[in-house]
Amino acid sequence: MSELRVLPDPEALSHAAADTFLSAATEAIRDRALFSVALAGGSTPRRAYEIIAQTWRAAPGGPLDWSRVHLFWGDERHVPPDHPDSNFRMANDVLIRRVPIPPGNVHPIPSAFPDAGEAADRYQEELRQFFKLRAGQVPRLDLILLGMGADGHVASLFPGTEALEITDRLVAANRVERLRSWRITLTLPVLNHAAKLVAMVAGREKSETLRRVIDGPHTPPLLPAERLQPDSGTLLWLVDEEAAWWAAAK
């Protein structure tokens, strides 16, 4: 099931994303005593994390129990965790250091390893152990947060890259030639098996890509964002009016 929700501006979008995080966490902890979420990088998630850090005490049902929250990441740049480009560093600066989450509940991608493939292998094993997976099983995260690039990439699954076609791994090292860099990313089977996917999109420069993703025509080769097709969960698009100006004209 897919839903498009249009917010007036990036600030409202960030508040909606924060509210979705807190509601999903409250529900998961109530039902299963644990909340697992994969975080995204980028400017829109950054503001959402700031809001979560400011509002978690007013979560639905009372203050969020951070001892039952486990943070993972959807993707990471192949840089040390203290690098300015690190998705972990961003989340750590604006969220993790500001809330009472136990250090053992934070599961960053080990991107400091010199070999991106080894980093992917180690993170894949961490997921397998945490979720107690048997061979061939895929973890079901309660929530995965994503952004979308103007080229339609999600996580670090870029158009035309090898990781986009990987179906037998949970985590992949992905070479992005146009960026001349390696990324470590969750694969599509993991994204599509989440209980809830939330994709955040802001800005007029992404509007044509978003229209294609939402309205089609869905002709091959599909953009990575078009391949977000939950197998048993939900997909929520949180977008601002600039990104979805065409929707108002329908």
pLDDT tens per residue across span 173-190: 999 998 889 999 999 999
Distance CA 195, CA 12 (A): 24
The pLDDT assigned to 249 comes to 60
Longest dimension (CA), the chain: 50
- Cα–Cα distance for residue pair 218/227, rounded to 1 Å: 10
Q: Report pLDDT digits (tens) over 8-67.
A: 999 999 999 999 999 999 999 999 999 999 999 988 899 999 999 999 998 888 999 999
pLDDT tens string 63-99: 999 999 999 999 999 999 999 999 999 999 999 999 9
Token digits for 30? 């109530």
Instruction: Go through 122-155 and write b for each residue having 16 or more CB atoms within 10 A of its CB, e for each that does not.
Output: ebbebbbeeeebeeeebbebbbbbbbbbeebbbb
Tokens of 139: 């973890």
How confident is the model at residue 42, as a pLDDT? 82
Residues 91 and 172 sit within 8 Å (Cβ to Cβ): no
Kindly list the structural domains of the chain, giving each domain's residue range(s) and its CATH number in brackets, ordered by start.
2-249 (3.40.50.1360)
